Each structure stands twice: as C-alpha cells, then as structure tokens.
Structure 1
Amino acid sequence: MVILLGTMSTAEHSLALSNAAPGPAPWQRAAAGANLLTADGGLGVTIFEEITTMAVKAGAINLGQGFPDEDGPGAIAAAARQAIAAGTNQYAPGKGMPVLREAVAAHQQRFYGLAPDPDTEVIITTGATEALAATLLALTGPGDEVLTFEPFYDSYGAMIGLSGATHTTSPLRAPDFQPDLEHLEQAFTDRTRVVLVNNPHNPMGTVFNREALAKVVELAERYNAVIVMDEVYEHLTFGVPHIPVATLPGAAERTVTISSAGKTFSFTGWKIGWLHGPADLVAAIRTVKQFLSYSSGSPFQPAIAAALALDDSFYQGVAAGLQRKRDVLSEGLRRAGLEVFTPDGTYFINVDAAPLGVTDAPALARQLPELVGVAAIPVSVFCHADGAERTRSLLRFAFCKKIEVLEEAAARLATLQERLG
C-alpha cells in the first residue's frame, strides 16, 4: 500500500499510517520516545526549537542548547583545512580512517589503560548520535528492554522507540543525582538487553561514583545485558575522576564505549564520534552503521586524530576553563534565589525554582526569555510521565559560552526574583 503524505496534516498522516499497519509507525515510536507526540497523536516541535525561537524573538541569551560559542584549537582547524587542500574529500572507509581508529585506541590506552584493537574493535561514526543509533538498532528490538537513568538525553528515547524495544528507567534524584542502587536493581529484568549509561550525565551534570558503576556491571552480568556507555563528556569533569566502565572488573567483555570530538574540542558541527568494544559486538554494530551514513567527515578525521594526541595541558585547560564558567553562572543563579545543584561535569547546571514559589518549570522556561532575557530548558522534557512530575520545578542551563556572555546572563538572572514579584 502506498500512502501519499505530502498533502496531509500530521494527524492525517498518523491516521493513514495506523490504518495501513498494526501498531505505531517507526517515526511515531521515535517521536513518542523523545516526547514529541501531542495528546492527539500529532507531531510537536522539540523544546530546544521552541525555546530557541523564543530566545531569538526576545533577543535573549540562549543557555538552552549545549553547544559552545567558540571554536576549538586553531591548529586542529588548520589540520582539517590542510586535509581538504590535500584532497581528502571522498568517502572514508566504512569503519573510519586507520589514522583516527589508531588515535582512538591510543587515547584509551593513554588515559585509561584500555587497549582496543583499532582494526576490529573501533568504529568511527557520524558523531556519538550515530554510534548510539547503530548500537541500539543492532542490539535491541521488540521484546527487549533498554534501561537508562532518568532524566535521560532525548535521543535515547527516540532511538529506543525506533528499535521497537521498551524503554525502562531508574531515577536520579536531587540533590546529588547519583543512582538509587536499590531501585536500579529492581529495574533490571530478564528482558533487559541493554543498560545505556551517560556518564558524565546530561542533563544532570553528575559524574557517577565507582560504587554506582560497579553496581551497573554486577547487574549487567547477572542479567546478561550489554552495557552501552555514552562518555562524550569524559574530559569535562571538575575535581572528580571520570571512571570508564570498561576498566572495571568483568565489564570489558560486555561494554560498548561511545565518545566524540564535539564536546572536548568544541567542534560540534564536525560530527566525528567513535565507539569501541568487543569485536563481536562491534561487528554487529558496524553492520547497521554502514547502512546509516556509511562514512562521513573525511577531512575532519585526520584532524581529530591530531587533536586526540594533544598534551595533557590541553585537556586540563578545557576542564578548568569550563569550571570557571560554571562558577560564574552559578553565582547569578544563586542571586536569583534558585537552588543550584553544582555539577561535577558536563556543560550543564540544574536548578530548582521551588524556593521562588515556582513549581511549573516548563511555564517558567517559556517566560524567561522575555522576563529576564535568558533562555533555559525544563528538565521534565527529559523524562517519562512520572519522572516529569518529579522534576517539574527543575531547569537546566548550559554554561559552555564565552565568559562575558555568562557574566551578562548572570547579571540578568540575578533580577529574576524581583521580576517575578
């Protein structure tokens, strides 16, 4: 049956698709997983698009989306330009250029003592997003469960929905947003195929402690689940160590580790990511990945290989600079009367608006651009229904911006209590 969608409304699309096949269509599962379906089954816009539109209209400082407003090292950009000039402009190998696969393996050895084989255990991907998509589509399907912590990065819900698996969660609660180990144990079942962990954690800014990570490994072993680690913020921690799960006893043989260049090197638009893990899992993931993008970013791959070899001082400087930015914005948020949950990593600060008598953070987020000229994202959009209620008074702000921008945002936010009356 052929359905012509071009002249239909979103609701009509939904009806046509539901009449054509049993159950929701793949796009509907993805949209539902990312909280994009409206009550009548229509397709809504993401909160990021909505808040960004409001910010632009109001001329507000947009601290909603997590991308930096400064480029990364000039030498790395120059390396990409050199690669373009040298003719590195055609398809890269499907699993990535050898120079970058070897650089990823060397990086893991240098920082964590891990030694993935660059030929059979490393894949270069179109950002961490494609790595996540290929992994979930390769390893999960109807009848499986994928367990994440909640709040969760919205891409997780979309990709789990697209795979046809069931998305289950375990909560991260204020004030420290560390896993509830008792609840985590209860959340695992015989159907848990993958436990997907974002550490350091977006949106909560938490860096999970060793006890929590060891519990994930213990439970994954007990239920024969694959551990998928999203570690894109691995170098952006503040005074606490990042512990890759693959370094823990019993973890390496069941762990797929994902990371990318965007956050560490401030080249988010290059979309260069990677994953590594046991050869059998990597082969399965590569089978799917080759039919998504096949390959991408040819001139950027050797540039990121050079970036991964930068001195320790670079990595230390990136973290120290972000910590200073965190502290500048935190001060403005405290002056606003908000309860600030100081993050140990990532780009993000979370706050509770309840001390101001505000319990509806989504409504406040839609007011902020006009009210004080700063935009933020409500944490509830990163949750299912129960989690959304639990986080209803929380907001997330991104501090990966120029220091002068954050100083101005902090000054504006300091007027919030007064403006709310």
Structure 2
Amino acid sequence: MWNRSHFTEGLPGGHNSSSRPVAATVASPWCIWFPLRKTRYQNTFIRLCPLVFGIVLICLALFSKSDLHQIAHPRSDNKLQGSINTVASDPSYKNEVVWWRELLCGERARPDQEDTEDPIVLKQLLRDIEPDVKDTNVFLIETSCDSNPLYRYWCSVESWAQLNPEMKVWFVLTSVTVDNADSLHRDLLRGYSNLQIVGAHLDNIFAATPANKFFKSGNWTQNMDWVVATVSEMLRTALVWLYGGFYSDTDMMCLTNMKNFTNAIGVEGGHVVNSAFFTMQHRSPYLGQLLEKMTLYFHPKWWASIGVAGYTQEMRKECAKDNIKMDEQKLPMTCRNITVYPPKDFYPLLYDKIPQIFGDGTGKDVSKVFNGSSLFHVWNKLSSVNVIKAKSESIYEVVTKRVCPITYRHAVRHSRYF
C-alpha cells in the first residue's frame, strides 16, 4: 500500500525530519546575533533566551504529527461531506463496540484497532442515512470488517455505478471506517454521484426485519469458519426486502445497464439458484419467507445454508405453487412473478473456467464470450489466489479496464499485479 509518510516529510515530527529540534534550527542564529548588538538589554536577553527556546520546544512536542498533517492537508471537499465524515467529527469513533462486531470482527472489533492508514468514518445505514424505497437501489456488501477492501471489490462497485447512472449504488461495510490512503474512495465518490459508501449497524437493520430474533440469538456464529459468509447472506436478504432493488456480490462485474430487470434471479448451473445476484421489489414475499425461515434453513455445518441452499429451496416452492418444475432447459421461466434466468445471463463463465478468466491473452474475444450476458462472476472464493497482471490482456483485465476505469488506474499505478 502507498506509504503516506511523504506527506509529513520535512515537517516537525515527520517521518524523515531531522533529529535536530526545529526550534533550535530556526531560532539559534537569532540568539547568537542579538547579543552582538550593544544594547542596555543585552544581559537580560541572554538570561531569558534559553527559557524562551525551552517553551518553544515543549509546544512543538505537544503539537503532534497528526495535527500538522491536518493543517497541511485539510479535508475541505464540500462535495463529499454528504457521504463521509473525518474521524475527528465522530465522537463515538473510539468507543463504539457492539456485541455482533466482537463476534464477527475479532481483533478488529474496535474502530481504533482497524488497520487503516487514513481512516474516514462512514455514515451508518439507518442511523445517519437511509435509502429510499425504490427498485433502483443496488446493494453490494463487505462483511469481514475490512476497512481496506480489495481492488476487486471496488471494481465491482464501480461497474454498477458507471453502467447504471439512474440507480443508487450502496456499498455497505461492517467496518466503521474506510481507508483512503490511496484516495480511491474519494476518487470514486467524485466520479459517481450515484454512489454511497456506508457502514452497517446490524442491530438497526435486522430490528426492522422478520430475521431479528435469529440475528439476536447469535446462532449464526456456531461455525466461525464461514460466519462472514453467513452474515453476508443474512444482510443481502434484509436490505433488498427492506428497500427493494438489486443485490450483487463484490465479485460480480456489471457489463450492461440493468434497468430492464425486475424480480429476477439466476441459475448458476443444474438446478441451483445462486444468491450472488438478484433483484426483488420492496417487501418481496419470496425474501420475506427466507427471512422468516432463517432459523429453519440455517445449519452450522453447511456452507451457504441460508444462501444458495435456502434460495433454491424457496424458489422451487414458488414454482410449485404454479405447478412448474424448475428446469434449466426451459429457462427463462417465471414463477409467482419472479423470473429465473439461465446461466448465460448472469454466470456465463463458471468456476471451472477460472484459468481462462485470468490467463494471459484470453481477453481477445471478450465480446464473443459475453455476448448476451449482463453480469460476469469471477468466483473470488475460488480465484483469490489468481494474480491479475497489468497488460496481460486476460478476460478479467480487459473487462476491468472497461467497466471500472478509476479502480483499474489505482490498481496498476504502483504495481503490475493486483
């Protein structure tokens, strides 16, 4: 990560400042010169000079490095004040520790323990800011309490904001702060007026849903190996049920404008409905059933028990009400006002194509690969070890340059890999 220490180079207390006290450097010549003048106050001044310099040195010691940084680089961008707050402006920043954050975040539970170089305190959803109830909301979430999300995540967020200017894109984090050390956060907010980056106070969110009892029980922590994924499944269902709109995983890249989709979900393969992307209306009965049955569907030994498994089971029930058997060969098909789409629409490359997604030179025919597709899933859980190389012309790189240009420029600014 970009080292911000150069901001304070040459300043008192800065990373590379001289070990010689600044006050002595500035004032010593004056002390030497003044006594050379023949005045009646010479002896008095010589006695007082060390005392004055001592006071100056004490003041400089108390005037911390962070204070100097704030003076040299004030955050005065009025355009962004609606989306962000500085740490100093939030008195609860150092003290806010809630039970679910201790369980979910571990050592990063306290805001002041987050690994953040240049922290910006996020407005909290439902406490400080709230989405309108509209089918044009887009929610992407990060539930590992990471204040410095991967460039891949930011790319997904940007792709939605860029290609859907008429929609409101919400990037919701369980972290209290976001790291702005390389200024990507600010650049994205400047570039897209339809983007909001906010924190999630889970107590407030789930209190307004049928899943509140399950959330408060803490049963979702029974298997800590995938507790982050479990909370992600819970939160996505709650947010779209509360406000309506779209949900997208942060490894789903938007390839086209999505305004023509409503009450839609996709099959990833076989008969499995994937919860990595869906769009539903406010208070969707389908999502309401999932929220009410989370206690029933949740199984601590099964990954995605309230995600893929729960979504698939509930979708089959919806189709059964219309005497329709969910069959991949007959997709797209509509069950109880929800349209189920085939893999080509949202999952054109399955996880067995990961080598192709990241392989050098595979992006030459990207328009053919994604012909008729609206989204592109890169399967982060399985592809996280795959390095993205700048100028490799892989499918992933070609797509990122087109759909998330700001993130791409930041990612390759200091390294050939991201």
Which band: TM-score by shorter chain?
A: under 0.3
TM, length-normalised to structure 1: 0.25
Q: Which has the larger radius of gyration?
A: 2
Instruction: Tell me the TM-score normalised to structure 2 length.
Output: 0.25
Higher RCO structure, 1 or 2 (CA under 8 Å, sep 6+):
1
